Amino acid sequence: MDIIRSTEADARTHIDQIPDLIHATGPASYGYQFGSRTVFDPLVRASWMVPHTLFGHDAAALTLDGGELLGVELGFISPGFRERADALAQVWPTIGEYAELDARDQALLTGLGTRVHECSWLNPTIPSDTYYVFALSVVDEHRGEGVGAALLRHALDQARSNGASGLQLDVLSDNPAVDFYRAHGLEVLVESKAPIPFSNGVPIELRMGVRFESSSDENQEER
């Protein structure tokens, strides 16, 4: 099992698996915002191929075994979450290359901006010096094999090597991954509830994270 940074060639090879992996990290939230996988999937595919966008492969660490994709982690410091989300504007005109949207899908797009804005309140501000894990997901048949733990350790190593003050992520409170993250040292920092999404089945979201000890912290403890 190897963990590599995705290249454009890797992105093209594994593009068919990426929408499922990303969607699995927050099906209730993505389901409310996009309304249909026929809208969500082509956007993810289009964004996956464009660096510096929210789902861009340039932020991806891939776990591979003999060329088989086992899991993916999308994480970044800069450009950050908001900048990458805003960059999706350049992707929308290209999603027709990945799927043909019917009249129902076009109707879902009409209210997408409003629904995305409503859900944006679930994501607190991310400190500029913090490594943010946007998605960490393992292929169903390889769960329980230590793939997720390896990806999280890799993300923590990436965060430290890039001088980050810590690592943070957002996870829906009904996701079993909450216990996984707790077991690996992350704690709940914020609980966010957006009333309209909540009434439409989107659970409370948890900002979880870990702060790295700096040399100044260590010096203070020694005093």
- Quote the number of domains for the chain: 1
CATH of the domain at 33: 3.40.630.30
What type of residue is 148?
G
d(CA 57, CA 126): 21
| Residues facing 64 on adjacent strands | 2, 69
pLDDT in the model for residue 96? 81
| DSSP 8-state secondary structure symbol assigned to residue 66 | T
Q: Which two tokens stand for residue 126?
A: 């991310």
d(CA 117, CA 16): 28
Q: Which two tokens stand for residue 125?
A: 């501000």
**Which mean pLDDT values do the consecutive 10-residue runs of the chain (223 residues) have?**
95 97 96 92 96 96 96 92 92 84 76 92 92 97 95 96 95 96 97 96 97 62 41
Q: Which domain holds residue 180?
A: 2-222
Q: Taking the model in full, what pTM does it have?
A: 0.91
Q: Which of 85, 188, 75, 77 is nearest to 127 (CA)?
A: 77
| DSSP 8-state secondary structure symbol assigned to residue 139 | -
